[in-house]
Amino acid sequence: MVRLSSTITQESAAAPVVFLTGAARRVGAETARVFHAAGFRVVIHYRSSEQDAIALVDELNRARPDTAACIQSRLDTQATIQAAADDAIAVFGQIDVLINNASSFFPTPWGDITDDAIHALMHSNLLLPMAMIQALASELKHREGTIINLVDIHALRPLADHPAYGAAKAGLISLTKSAALDLAPRVRANAIAPGAILLPEQEGDDYEAALTGNVPLARMGNPTDIAEAALFLATAPYVTGQILAVDGGRTLKQ
């Protein structure tokens, strides 16, 4: 599905385009808003959050007509990923920034790691970004574009009972650096490693207190912190192959 008004103004047609996976809600949605406010046109991918995606696109198009759209895809095979990449390019005729935001997160304690869990975590956190970069590599080279991957500080320091998730995100760090090397000089690739930004939706105040107790800045971050870091990386022309921790200093502590 593509939702977009039919008329694109000359002014809006000159703006760069950012494509975000898994961006109907939470950090992805805020990143879309921050890029849009900075003058980008925005293509938002969603899997099942159709109402949220449509509401976000309508919100952005009210602010600046004909500058936001959404596409739906399961992104579960090479074919669906390539189709989504093609659809994203077709919306505005270009992609300048790819943000691999889609992710799954859940524990896999040793002894309970199943094939399904491995597939879900490895696919969304590593294989999907790899396939999406491959699908858009030619376009990004043509546009001298930028890749931003969302990793995790727990790719750098493991989170208890999450070995499969941590391994997938660690692989995404390696993938980011490979893309920066292999696609240079026409494409830059960087990653953001968030710390405590949003609580899992099932957690409450006790969980938040435990998280912030180990953060030097003594507070949770928020989605805007990640979005503004992404905007910096998208517009910093001499930065590539870097992993930017946005964690309030959490990785400074043992």
CATH of the domain at 40: 3.40.50.720
Nearest to 43 by CA among 56, 52, 51: 56
- Predicted local distance difference test score (pLDDT) of residue 203: 59
* Token output for 105: 């997160």
Q: Is residue 161 part of a domain?
A: yes
From 46, 165, 207, 238, the catalytic residue = 165
Q: Is residue 254 part of a domain?
A: no
Q: Is residue 221 part of a domain?
A: yes
- Predicted local distance difference test score (pLDDT) of residue 100: 98
- Predicted local distance difference test score (pLDDT) of residue 239: 98
Q: Is residue 1 part of a domain?
A: no
Based on the residue annotation, tell me whether 165 is a catalytic residue of this protein. yes
Q: How many CA atoms lie within 13 A of 254 on its CB side?
A: 0
- Predicted local distance difference test score (pLDDT) of residue 183: 98
Region for 111 from its dihedrals, namely left if φ exceeds 0, alpha if ψ lies in -120 to 50, beta otherwise: left
- Predicted local distance difference test score (pLDDT) of residue 5: 37
pTM above 0.85, yes or no: yes
- Predicted local distance difference test score (pLDDT) of residue 214: 86
Are 189 and 176 contacting, i.e. CB atoms less than 8 angstroms apart? yes
The string of pLDDT tens digits covering residues 148-198 is: 999 999 999 999 999 999 999 999 999 999 999 999 999 999 999 999 998
Output b/e per residue, 48-75; b: 16+ Cβ within 10 A: ebeebbbebbeebbeebebbbbbbbbeb
- Predicted local distance difference test score (pLDDT) of residue 59: 98
Nearest to 151 by CA among 191, 95, 92: 191
Q: Is residue 118 part of a domain?
A: yes
* Spans of the chain below 70 pLDDT: 1-12, 200-205, 254
- Predicted local distance difference test score (pLDDT) of residue 199: 73
Q: Is residue 3 part of a domain?
A: no
- Predicted local distance difference test score (pLDDT) of residue 206: 73
Q: Is residue 252 part of a domain?
A: no
- Predicted local distance difference test score (pLDDT) of residue 1: 41
- Predicted local distance difference test score (pLDDT) of residue 8: 42
The boundaries of the domain holding residue 55 are 10-247
Domain count, the chain: 1
Q: Is residue 28 part of a domain?
A: yes
- Predicted local distance difference test score (pLDDT) of residue 213: 83
